[in-house]
Structure 1
Amino acid sequence: MFFDHPDGRIQISELNNGKRRIHVHPRDSSIYIHRSSCDTAYPMELIAQILEVKGPGYLCDEISRDEDSSYLEAHLRATLFAHLPKSAFVGARLLDFGCGSGASTMIMTRSLPALSDVVGVELEDRFLRIARARADFYRMTNVRFERSPAGDRLPEHLGLFDFIVLPAVYEHLLPPERKTIIPQLWNHLSNGGVLFIDETPARWFPVETHTSSLPFVNYLPDPLAHRFVQYFSPRGLRNESWTDLLRKGIRGGSVNEILGIIHRKGGLPELLKPGYDGMLTPVDVWYEGYARSASGRTGELKRTFGKALKVFNDALHLAPVPYLSLAIRKNG
């Protein structure tokens, strides 16, 4: 079977295990295809709905975000369960802010069946239609979706949540929206609750991997970065405005920026250290597992260097990996 689209042709074949295999064939080489093939259990109606909204370039990417356990699910589970045990989520309320088409909501609801209530919030109606169709497909009864009235406002009557998760969302907020919406989310977090900001590109990483796939973009002033991306990005961004690029996530976040926004609006944020299931930050892994275990004069030098590296990393918040995964507890 085939679906035709102005940007490509979608070939769908039935597999013996009850799933379908999708192959995306672009119309020409200038069309960017993030993932060209995937297997899915989705019905044809849901595949067609995702194709209409996401186009051929991101059809398989959107499907894989939900169904490929090595993709978004791996990031979310690592972030959640590195900072808290599963028992902490029993009977809790969870807000999935910027849920998009609902892949993250599906994953967290499946991974944490003991949650009492899961709410997905999204600005775009077209994404919410896919999210609701996914929930219907999985027959999830403790999930609902709400539309944000604007990029800097939340729906009314949400109530308090024990956990608020921003899965690959923070970078898509425009700079003024970040300063407005993060304090609002903080106000909807109960005392002792945790705000998770997951898979946000590190603002000062040498390569901007999220939107442009170019080096040094993070260090350039906005006008120069805009021109650089338009002319040299392999992702076909020649006609994108700077606002469009910001909305696509070209300016990631930093720990300083995020905690600074919370501090300015009140509250006592505590940055939790990953440690459950053996999960640690790359710098902590090196410093605690290698430098501290050394002995003698050479060991002392190693410990000194390791401590200096850790202090430098903590002070400047230069991420040793391209993405941030933060858990911030609200105290008081």
Structure 2
Amino acid sequence: MTDAAANAAQIAYWNEGAGPTWAALQVQLDRQIGPLGRAAALALGPKPGERILDIGCGCGESSLELARAVGPTGEVTGLDISRPMLEIARARAAEASLTQASFVEADAQAHPFAVGQADAVYSRFGVMFFADPTAAFANIRKGLKPGGRLAFVCWRAMAQNPIMTLPLASAAHLLPPTAPPEPGAPGPFAFADQARTSGILGAAGFTDIVFTPHNQKIGSGDLETTLGLSLRIGPLGGMLREHPDKREAVIDAVRAALRPHEGPDGVLLDSATWIVTARNRGFGSLQGEVSLDPGFFDPLPDSELGK
């Protein structure tokens, strides 16, 4: 199978299925996973004037935050396979007058990156979906300068993530049984296994590979907002897309399970992720590199999140 064809199923999924849904829910999703993306960005330590690739940039929040960090003399290029999400990303960049941010509709496993031009590569949950992750990271590495930095955030095991498991578990008795996903198959938890992911990065030519566990309560808003998101996104959302006739039956059970976790900041549930850092083979380590003011990664104002 050619690289161009390898991710055809994912391209279709993120344009015809999940992409429009994520685009419609981008405000809630940015609120939920934005803090985790900012943890990875702080580990990357972007600097003014740098060129950064944002792999799987989605609706662009992470790219715009990186664009602010590198400033007008830097460049951030967001890549994604989802046209509906990229349309939002481009509109948000234009609204914010961040001309240093640009977006490319491309499959990072096959995209012809300009060789050795980027100072760093970043991703917020955008690198777990490749059919051949070793080939994808080897291709991405071509775009990095010697010694260039890599940082991304990915989910640890599903069982460690109530943000994912609680809605589905609360409704499991009302849904048909389902087989667990194949370990390592493209999907949200493909990089949960530290040893496997480290092997992928090493085989692709990265060194100084570090996995830092990150645990944080996250959420998308109040009870009804969280309920609505749970019914459309994540493991429960996936089940309901296959069994839409079960939607009304599970609503009360999911709402009851979420209610005890609601507080002044909305419904917050535990998340467990890896913050992964590495370098293009041959140069130093990331230690001592992070000197950026964390204020660079304050959440976008509501006026921009709605764009």
> Aligned to 1:118, which of 57, 62, 76?
76
For the 8 Å contact 1:120–1:143, the answer to whether it is kept is yes
Q: Distance in 2 between matches of 1:255 and 1:140?
A: 36
- Per the TM alignment, residue 208 of structure 1 is displaced from its structure 2 partner at its CA by 5.1
> Aligned to 1:232, which of 172, 197, 211?
172
Residue aligning to 1:322: 272
Choose 1 or 2 for highest CA Rg: 1
Residue aligning to 1:80: 41
Q: 1:185-237 CA distances to partner (integer Å, 9 max, x unpaired)?
A: 12222122111111x1114x63355655589xxxxxxxxxxxxx9x9398x89
Q: Distance in 1 between matches of 2:108 and 2:176?
A: 23
1:251 aligns with 2:199: no
1:164 aligns with 2:121: yes
Q: Distance in 2 between matches of 1:193 and 1:102?
A: 22
Q: Distance in 2 between matches of 1:246 and 1:209?
A: 21
Q: Distance in 2 between matches of 1:248 and 1:233?
A: 24
Q: 1:79-130 CA distances to partner (integer Å, 9 max, x unpaired)?
A: 332464xxx6121100001111212112222344366111011112222111
Cα gap change, 1:242/1:118 in structure 2, threshold over 3 Å: closer, same or farther?
A: same
For the 8 Å contact 1:94–1:115, the answer to whether it is kept is no
- Superposition pairs of residues 75-224 of structure 1, within 5 angstroms: 75-82=36-43, 84=45, 89-113=47-71, 116-148=74-106, 150=107, 152-157=109-114, 160-171=117-128, 173-174=129-130, 176-198=131-153, 200-203=154-157, 206-207=159-160, 209=162, 213=166
Which structure 2 residue ranges, 5 or more long, are not aligned? 1-17, 216-269, 283-307
Which structure 1 residue ranges, 5 or more long, are not aligned? 1-51, 216-228, 275-279, 283-319
- Per the TM alignment, residue 78 of structure 1 is displaced from its structure 2 partner at its CA by 2.5
Cα gap change, 1:74/1:211 in structure 2, threshold over 3 Å: closer, same or farther?
A: closer
Q: Distance in 1 between matches of 2:134 and 2:90?
A: 29
SS in 2 for 1:180: helix
The size of the alignment, in residue pairs, is 209
Q: 1:283-313 CA distances to partner (integer Å, 9 max, x unpaired)?
A: xxxxxxxxxxxxxxxxxxxxxxxxxxxxxxx
For the 8 Å contact 1:194–1:330, the answer to whether it is kept is yes
For the 8 Å contact 1:170–1:253, the answer to whether it is kept is no
SS in 2 for 1:118: strand
Q: Normalised by the size of structure 1, how large is the TM-score?
A: 0.51
SS in 1 for 2:37: helix
Q: Distance in 2 between matches of 1:154 and 1:233?
A: 44
Cα gap change, 1:207/1:180 in structure 2, threshold over 3 Å: closer, same or farther?
A: same
For the 8 Å contact 2:149–2:277, the answer to whether it is kept is yes
Q: Normalised by the size of structure 2, how large is the TM-score?
A: 0.55
SS in 1 for 2:132: helix
Higher relative contact order (CA 8 A, sep 6+): 2
1:63 aligns with 2:3: no
Q: Distance in 2 between matches of 1:237 and 1:166?
A: 34
